[in-house]
Chain A
Amino acid sequence: MTEAADIDVAHVAKLARLNLSEEETKLFQTQLRRVLDYAAKLQELDTSGIETAAHAVPVFNVLRDDEPRDWFSAEEALSNAPRQANGLFVVTKVVE
């Protein structure tokens, strides 16, 4: 397994939209390399012909009737918003 040595924490942090301090980046680099080195043992097993188990107890096509019912008012839905105005969530500018 050479991939384990390749983890670029700074790059992955960008993908995850998560700023890290330089110190954290360095620390995670070391710690996660150890975790991934350990996880390399998964490669020892022959898994050809094994289906992936996304859920332990698979259930399919679980549907309920699509009926309107009471739910939160706009006011309630906004009650935890960090910023709001005119009954709307205020978001950061997306388009210049």
Chain B
Amino acid sequence: MTLSDLLACNVTELQALLRRREVSPREVVEALHTRIQEIDPQIDAYLSLDFEEALRQAEVADVTLPLGGVPIAIKDMISVAGQPCTCGSKILRNYRALYDATLVRKLRAAGAIPFGKTNMDEFAMGSSTENSSVKPARNPWDLSRVPGGSSGGSAAAVAADEAFAALGTDTGGSIRQPAALSGVVGLKPSYGRVSRFGVVAFASSLDQAGPLTKTVRDSALLLNAIAGADPQDSTCLNEPIPDYTQHLGRDLRGIRLGLPREYMVDGIDPQIRAAIDAAVAQLRSLGAEVVDVSLPHTEYAVAAYYMIASAEASANLARYDGVRYGHRAENIQNLFDHYGRTREEGFGAEVKRRIILGTYVLSSGYYEAYYDRAQKVRELIRRDFGRAFEKVDALISPTSPDLAFPIGERSFDPLRMYLADVFTIAANLAGICGISLPCGFAKMNDGKQLPIGLQLLGKPLGEATILQIAHAYEQSTEWHKQRPPVAATPTHA
């Protein structure tokens, strides 16, 4: 087996090789390191690496564990003890995490090996990874385009075979949208399914962490490892954890799927619309019944989301004051100067914009008009989903209305960037789960092809159902087997 073949493995395949001792955990970690050194300068998926520590763990890895010996990339928003956790921000440039986030601790307990932190939009604010204070990440399918965001580094790394799987976070689509634009599988668990202890807070009523993987089965495997209650996170639900791989392989007879008519709006790229139509036909042929449903408050979701997310971000980011950790300005005159300049120097433009917006909508005189109103609209959106799920098991839509766009194309138009989140943000507002998986490719004029993502939304704690549907679809298509041109770069030992 060549190194390229080894690196093209998904987690399930890699585990089989490890358990048959055809490859050792050390060889896997070394191959990954070689690969990253060779191709990451083109992709910039990683912000930091710690292969010394990864090799130490590989030496003692127990391959019989659920993820034994499997290296997993971690978004730089999630704490890994001893490693940097910069959130893609200058303000945390020299910060090192003192402890493992609960989900990292759980991954380690399952045998996985963290080895590197992935690039992201600063504090997860963005849909392109262009807001990274370090460097934009690039889309493996076309290096002149964005990989999506904010978990763009995680998505690009998995797509380019420079990670077997990765963790991301999703506040308004930050796992699902980059998964769609980069051609991988991204799962946002229900609110409360996965502990957020040690995950840096952006918008606390919306944030969730979850896996980005090459296949749906891998997504289920990782969710098995990270789900579950945590005494350190009071919002994490104390509900049983099913074996998420158990329903994989069942057919779709008896499954009812809903097409929200409000999601089939103008402005969806025609090649994406065609791919979704074909995916619906395919799901029908697999035995699912597909019906129209209505989510009447869809057009208000983006507005409600940006009010709530910005408000919560402005409160959460107040902690970056240059006292206990992070950047502190030099030559400070007084306390206001200390805070004002520390934060001016440490935060990038999009973070500043959202802090201003969030502070404004929470300020006296505007609170009722914007924040309180947005929270009520959120309840209306939540009820829309509740009604829809009385009739169907899951909802189908495109993950994003757009294909991966050229780097730099949208950075000057925040509202346009926000509006592209229309299909993903409602899931965060309603606390439900969602998955994005490859459902086709768009052919571009320059001969390149760009991935298209299909989104399935499920009930709160309905991950097993959407994984079952996603897996049945995936296994009936060949999309997930395609690799981007950059992944074909031969890797030499």
Contact = CB atoms under 8 A, between A and B. Distances in A.
Interface of A: 1, 3, 7, 9, 12-13, 15-21, 24, 28, 31-32, 34-36, 38-39, 41-45, 47, 50-57, 59, 62, 64, 72, 76-77, 79-83, 89, 91-94
12 contacts: A17-B339, A38-B302, A39-B306, A39-B307, A43-B369, A45-B297, A50-B380, A57-B192, A59-B192, A72-B98, A76-B98, A80-B324
Contact of B379 (A3, A53, A82, A92): A53
Contacts of A52: 372, 375-376, 378-379
Given A43-B369, A72-B98, A81-B324, A19 B332 contact: no
Main secondary structure of the interface of A (DSSP, over half): loop
Contacts of B360: 7, 12, 32, 36
Interface in B365-394: 365-366, 369-370, 372-380, 382
Given A15-B363, A16-B355, A80-B326, A42 B307 contact: yes
A62 B360 CA distance: 31
Contacts of A31: 353, 414-415
Contacts of A35: 306, 357, 414-415, 418
Nearest to B333: A92
B431 interface: yes
A75 to B, nearest CB: 11
Contacts of B373: 42-43, 47
Given A20-B352, A53-B375, A57-B431, A41 B300 contact: yes
A17 B3 CA distance: 52
Given A20-B352, A45-B376, A81-B324, 10 more contacts: A15-B359, A16-B343, A18-B340, A24-B349, A41-B299, A42-B307, A47-B380, A51-B376, A53-B382, A80-B326
B300 A18 contact: no
Interface stretch (B154-162, B229-237, B484-492): B229-237
B363 A12 contact: yes
Contacts of A38: 302-303, 415
Contacts of A3: 365-366, 369
B356 A55 contact: no
Given A54-B205, A79-B96, A93 B334 contact: yes
A43 B368 CA distance: 11
Interface residues of B, number: 74
Contacts, number: 170
A41 to B, nearest CB: 6
Interface string B318-353: 100111111110001011101111011001010011
Contacts of B327: 82
Given A20-B352, A92-B332, A45 B431 contact: no
A68 B353 CA distance: 41
A27 to B, nearest CB: 8
Contacts of A56: 191, 205, 378, 382, 428-432, 460
Contacts of A59: 192, 234-235, 237
Contacts of A45: 297, 300, 376-377, 380
A2 B379 CA distance: 25
Nearest to A84: B324
Contacts of B326: 80, 82
A45 B429 CA distance: 17
B400 interface: no
A44 B338 CA distance: 42
B240 to A, nearest CB: 15
Interface in B386-427: 414-415, 418
A85 B205 CA distance: 37
A9 B373 CA distance: 22
Contacts of B234: 59, 62
Listed from nearest, the 3 A-B pairs whose CB atoms lie closest are A56-B431, A80-B325, A82-B328
Contacts of A34: 415
Interface in B92-119: 94-96, 98-99
A54 B375 CA distance: 6
B257 interface: no
B331 to A, nearest CB: 11
A32 B353 contact: yes
Nearest to A25: B356
Given A38-B415, A80-B94, A16 B304 contact: no
Nearest to B351: A18
A68 B125 CA distance: 37
Contacts of A91: 323
